[in-house]
Amino acid sequence: MFSAVAIIVNYWNYNFLENFMVVKLFRIEKKDARSKVYSDKDDKYEKFNISVFSGLKDVICDNMPSCLQCCRSSNNDRGLAAGRDKLEKETNIITILQSRRYFNAALKQLLSKDQR
């Protein structure tokens, strides 16, 4: 019984943390934002809408072939997917550590006392 509950909760919370971070960090530009002049800069953006069943929908869409993914046709769903991709690139710890090691090695080489 615990395994069944764990599987259900796992599917229910699929992409929850990523969607939460995307909602807090990114916004969607309105369709008329480029043609219309807004008095406030924040008015030309709208927030993401996440439903209770968005995790289940993401599980289904992610496990379907790409030719059948008509379930991601809304601007909100495409924005969430793009935001998750952008967030993954920004928080990829392996890439950050590799660039940090490269920077440290280059700094040691440039600032070494034995260099003549």
pLDDT in tens, the chain (116 residues): 889 999 888 888 888 888 888 888 888 777 776 777 777 766 777 788 888 788 888 888 778 777 766 666 677 788 888 888 888 888 888 888 888 999 999 999 888 876 55
In the chain, where the domains are located:
2-110
How crowded is the C-beta side of 37, counted as CA atoms within 13 Å? Answer: 0
Per-residue confidence (pLDDT) for residue 69, from 0 to 100: 65
Per-residue confidence (pLDDT) for residue 103, from 0 to 100: 92
Total-model pTM: 0.60
> Long-range pairs for 62-67 at CB < 8 Å and ≥24 separation?
62/14
